[in-house]
């Protein structure tokens, strides 16, 4: 028995060292064969600032922080009472300008009738002068009257153009007020979650004043950094997987961006190859349909690891831990 004790102890030590070695190898390589790259990161989504286009007072904010909104949902409404008053005045000016156009057109018809009458009178006077019945002075008077009527017609036609331009200007002003009123209703441009409320009802903001910050959940991704040799073998659309620390499942993804420029490894990024100083930024994006399917559970900021199949990997399959059935809904953390 005394002889067996050292043997058993040695076996235990060897097994422990083997287990530690396997653990360290697995933590470094994640159990992946050659042809795959890996990097640490966290789920992120672009932030969109919902801001006013024109100066004004915030009338209502219809959402709270953390709420999920769809594209087109109304987020906030600005006070439009002053704009509505300007719009009413603009519509009245447009109607008045349209009436002036009708008046000028009626005047043109009147002036055209006067020209026709003056032409007839001049023709008769010229005939009588040719016959010796009337003196030449009467024909000259009718000619003067005809020229005066033609000048009045031309002036009326010119005023019609001016009146029509006034109508166009008035209608353009109406359209401007209508656009400003429409812009006073702020809507969500994409599917997303409210991150911050930056203003409160009653506050007066300048043009471009921020009211809400929205997380764009239509594009959820993990940003990792790869050394040059792996980045060169990473193509857009390359197959990828993401494993989040709190979820023991591999989430299908794909490469949506590879930086064309190298940069020094950011301090917040942990990498097994610390000797690699220059790294390339890579975005691994979750498919939009997958995000929508689990939208209530999607939460940015959680950390994890992304895995990428590199070009030249050939037919090397993903390890069994990275393939399988869709992620169960109850496996995802509640938001």
CB atoms closer than 10 angstroms to residue 245: 10
CA dihedral 328, 330, 331, 332 (to 10 degrees): 110
Dihedral angle of Cα 327, 328, 333, 335, to the nearest 10 degrees: 90
Q: How many domains is the chain partitioned into structurally?
A: 3
DSSP character for 334?
P
Q: Token pair for residue 255?
A: 């490469």
Which pLDDT does position 267 carry in this prediction?
58
Residues of the chain with pLDDT under 50: 1-4, 7-11, 14-29, 275, 325-335
SS3 48: strand
Answer yes or no: do 112 and 244 share one domain: no
Count CB atoms within 10 A of the CB of residue 51: 17
Would you state the structure tokens that stand for residue 118, as one six-digit string?
């003056």
CATH number of 291's domain? 2.40.30.170
Print burial letters for 290-306: b (CB count within 10 Å at least 16), e (below 16): bbeeebebbbbeeebbb
Residues 235 and 303 grouped into a single domain: yes
Residue 10, in any domain of the structure: no
Lookup result for tokens 């399959």? 317
Identify whether 1 is part of a domain.
no
* 31 contacts 294 by C-beta, under 8 angstroms: no
pLDDT of residue 320: 74
**Would 23 be classed as within a structural domain?**
no
As given in the structure block, the two tokens for residue 334 are 């509640």
Residues 258 and 281 in one domain: yes
179 and 239 belong to one structural domain: no
What are the DSSP calls for 241-306, one per residue?
EEEETT--SEEEEEEEEEEEEEEEPPTT---S-TT--EEEEEEEE--HHHHHHTTTT--TT-EEEE
Tell me, yes or no, whether 189 and 179 share the same domain: no
**Domain-embedded: residue 246:** yes
Residues 288 and 225 in one domain: yes
- What pLDDT is stored for residue 269 in this prediction? 55
Residues 164 and 39 in one domain: no
pLDDT at 31: 60
3-state secondary structure 50-116: EECCCCEEEEEECCCCCCEECCCCEEEEECCHHHHHHHHHHHHHHHHHHHHHHHHHHHHHHHHHHHH
Q: Which two tokens stand for residue 284?
A: 């691994």
In a domain, 129, yes or no: yes
- pLDDT value, residue 59: 95
Whether residues 298 and 265 share a domain: the answer is: yes
Q: State the DSSP string of 3-37.
A: THHHHHHHHHHHHHHHHHHHHHHHHHHTT--TTEE
Looking at the structure, tell me whether residues 71 and 189 fall in a common domain.
Answer: yes
Residue 41 makes CB contacts below 8 A (sequence gap 6+) with 222, 223, 224, 269, 284, 303, 304, 305, 306
Residues 297 and 156 in one domain: no
Is residue 237 assigned to a domain?
Answer: yes
Secondary structure class of 231 (helix, strand, coil): helix
Domain span including residue 149: 81-183
Domain CATH number, residue 199: 2.40.50.100
Q: Are residues 194 and 249 in the same domain?
A: no
Residues 226 and 256 in one domain: yes
Please check whether residue 27 lies inside any domain of the structure: no
Residue 133 lies inside a defined structural domain of this protein: yes
Transcribe 206-225 into DSSP letters: -TT-EEEEEEEEEEEEEEEE
Nearest in space to 77 (alpha carbons), one of 56, 64, 93, 58: 58
Q: What is the pLDDT of residue 77?
A: 95
Copy the structure tokens of residue 234.
Answer: 């990473």
Distance CA 11, CA 14 (A): 5
């Amino acid at each position: 028995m005394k002889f067996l004790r050292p043997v058993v102890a040695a076996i235990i030590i060897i097994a422990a060292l083997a287990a530690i070695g396997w653990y360290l190898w697995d933590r470094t390589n994640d159990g992946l064969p050659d042809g795959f790259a890996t990097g640490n990161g966290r789920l992120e989504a672009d932030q969109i600032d919902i801001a006013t286009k024109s100066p004004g007072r915030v009338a209502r904010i219809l959402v709270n922080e953390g709420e999920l909104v769809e594209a087109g949902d109304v987020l906030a409404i600005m006070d439009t009472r002053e704009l509505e008053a300007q719009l009413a005045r603009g519509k009245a000016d447009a109607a008045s300008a349209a009436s002036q156009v009708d008046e000028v057109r009626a005047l043109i018809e009147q002036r055209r009738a006067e020209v026709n009458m003056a032409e007839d009178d001049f023709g008769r006077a010229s005939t009588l002068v040719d016959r010796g019945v009337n003196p030449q002075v009467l024909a000259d008077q009718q000619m003067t009257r005809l020229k005066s009527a033609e000048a009045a017609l031309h002036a009326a036609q010119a005023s019609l153009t001016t009146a029509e331009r006034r109508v166009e200007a008035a209608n353009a002003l109406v359209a401007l007020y209508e656009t400003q009123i429409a812009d006073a209703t702020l809507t969500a441009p994409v599917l997303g979650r409210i991150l911050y409320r930056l203003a409160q009802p009653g506050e007066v903001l300048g043009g471009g004043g921020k009211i809400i910050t929205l997380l764009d959940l239509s594009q959820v991704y993990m940003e990792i950094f790869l050394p040059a040799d792996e980045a060169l073998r990473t193509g857009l659309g390359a197959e990828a997987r993401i494993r989040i620390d709190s979820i023991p499942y591999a989430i299908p993804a794909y490469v949506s961006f590879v930086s064309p420029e190298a940069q020094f490894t950011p301090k917040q990024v942990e990498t097994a190859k610390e000797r690699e100083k220059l790294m390339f930024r890579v975005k691994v994006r979750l498919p939009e349909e997958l995000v929508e399917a689990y939208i209530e559970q999607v939460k940015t900021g959680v950390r994890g690891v992304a895995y990428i199949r590199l070009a030249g990997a050939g037919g090397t399959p993903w390890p069994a831990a990275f393939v399988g059935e869709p992620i169960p809904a109850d496996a995802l953390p509640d938001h």
